[in-house]
Amino acid sequence: MEAREILELVKNGSMSVEEAEGFFRRQPFEDMGYAKLDLHRRIRSGFPEVIFCSGKPDEFLINIFQRMAENEGQAFGTRATAEQYEMVRKVIPDIQYDPVSRILKLERTPKEKKGLIAVVTGGTADIPVAEEAAQTAEYFGSKVERIYDVGVSGIHRLLSQTQRIQEANCIVAVAGMEGALASVVGGLVSNPVIAVPTSVGYGANFGGLSALMTMINSCANGIAVVNIDNGYGAGYMATQINRLACGGNKSDAKQ
């Protein structure tokens, strides 16, 4: 629960002063031994803590999701497997899993979607990373427009979507191979572009390094680059930009 929510509950008589005092005395994190849940992250940064699922022991992951659900009423995990979903679902039946983005989430109260972020991909193979970005942004309260498979090998496809792309407060450009998409998009818009190199490509793609180097060395202005396949990081940053464009701040996180 947010500090503002606690104060509102006290104000309307739904919570006693003593109960509220107990909340504010609580440590800013919960030490589970193998994990320290950052319970005050949303207060500080405007975003709750997110769970990176890959590599976590089964029992740890299940317990972390349980505690996040109890403390936040919601939980969001990235890079989850179908097997992890089945395990968590046994204790949180309403948990949701998307096998494309590999996102595992609990969202009991849908958020109002504000502003506009465009998520654009070079090809269909880039969609898993793009969906990680898009669904992250949506989870944090941003409206997202998906524009997929508009790479530079058929640039007329991208140009036919120019108006939709230009209307966005921020654009996430996701591409593998040589990664030229971000430069082209950057030359079409006046708002920030977050470039996401993917590991899609043949041998000399070097697991996404070729796209990363192209995006970092782009001659187009207004482009920032996140790590290879880091759709989550792009979606998070795009939401920060979108909130600013909507005149928002940290308090938007309570939506």
What confidence tens digit (pLDDT) does each residue in 135-157 have? 999 999 999 999 999 999 899 99
Backbone angles phi, psi at 107, to 5 degrees: -140, 85
pLDDT of residue 251: 46
Amino acid, single-letter form, for residue 72: E
Q: Is 186 exposed, middle or buried (0-12, 13-18, 19+ CB in 10 A)?
A: buried
Tokens read off for 187: 């030359």
DSSP structure class, residue 134: H
Q: Which of 142, 68, 53 is nearest to 108 (CA)?
A: 68
Closest among 175, 165, 169 to 141, alpha carbons compared: 169
**pLDDT at res. 30:** 58
Contacts of 188 (CB under 8 A, 6+ apart): 162, 165, 166
Listed residue (239, 233, 253) closest to 132, CA to CA: 233
pLDDT attached to residue 182: 95
State residue 18's pLDDT score.
75
Count CB-CB contacts under 10 A for residue 28.
Answer: 12
> Cα(197)–Cα(237) distance, rounded to whole angstroms?
15
**Domain range summary for the chain, segments of one domain joined by +:** 3-109, 114-245
| Residue 2 and residue 254 in contact, taking contact as beta carbons nearer than 8 Å | yes
The b/e string for 64-86 (b: 16+ C-beta within 10 A; e otherwise) is: bbebbbebbeebbbbbbeeebbe
Distance CA 178, CA 154 (A): 14
In order of 160, 161, 170, 215, 233, the CA distances from 181 in angstroms are: 14, 13, 15, 9, 18
Q: Which residues of the chain have pLDDT under 70?
A: 1-4, 21-33, 36, 38-43, 45, 248-255
pLDDT score for 112? 84
Q: Which CATH number fits domain 114-245: 3.30.70.1450, 3.30.70.260, 3.40.50.1970, 2.130.10.10?
A: 3.40.50.1970
- Quick one: pLDDT at residue 254? 44
Distance CA 137, CA 139 (A): 5
Which tokens sit at 225? 């680059």
